[in-house]
């Protein structure tokens, strides 16, 4: 049940594309610097997949990484429509840089 809740928070959100791209960055880098407090970041933390400690966003635990791995991410990114440009404008500019 917990796994499906994590997946739903990522895939059923209006910000799914952005959340998945942010998660992709996290998988690639293992941690991300916390740069500002945006609604997207708050939503990302609420997925339960990540944690914020000492100014770094990290995976909450390795079990999630083994379930929500790069192939899972790649398959789900294909299913979600591209982000509308106006949504990106709502992000803080420094946080938007992470999503590139």
Q: What is the pLDDT of residues 10-31, one digit of tens each?
A: 888 888 889 999 899 999 998 8
User: 67 lies in which domain range?
Assistant: 2-98
> Order of strands across the sheet with 31-33?
31-33, 56-59, 50-53
Number of domains within the chain: 1
Phi, psi of 99 (to 5 degrees): -80, -10
What Rg do the C-alpha atoms of the chain give, in angstroms?
Answer: 13
Measure the CA–CA gap between 35 and 57, rounded to whole angstroms.
10
**Do residues 49 and 10 lie in contact, with contact meaning Cβ atoms separated by under 8 Å?**
yes
Q: Which range in 10-14, 72-76, 80-84 is most confidently predicted, on average pLDDT?
A: 72-76
- Structure pTM? 0.74
């Amino acid at each position: 049940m917990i796994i499906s809740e994590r997946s739903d928070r990522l895939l059923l959100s209006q910000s799914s594309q952005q959340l998945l791209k942010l998660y992709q960055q996290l998988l690639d880098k293992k941690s991300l610097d916390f740069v500002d407090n945006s609604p997207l970041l708050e939503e990302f933390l609420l997925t339960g997949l990540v944690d914020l400690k000492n100014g770094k966003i990290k995976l909450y635990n390795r079990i999630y990484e083994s379930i929500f791995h790069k192939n899972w991410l790649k398959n789900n990114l294909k299913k979600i429509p591209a982000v509308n440009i106006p949504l990106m404008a709502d992000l803080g500019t420094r946080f938007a840089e992470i999503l590139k």
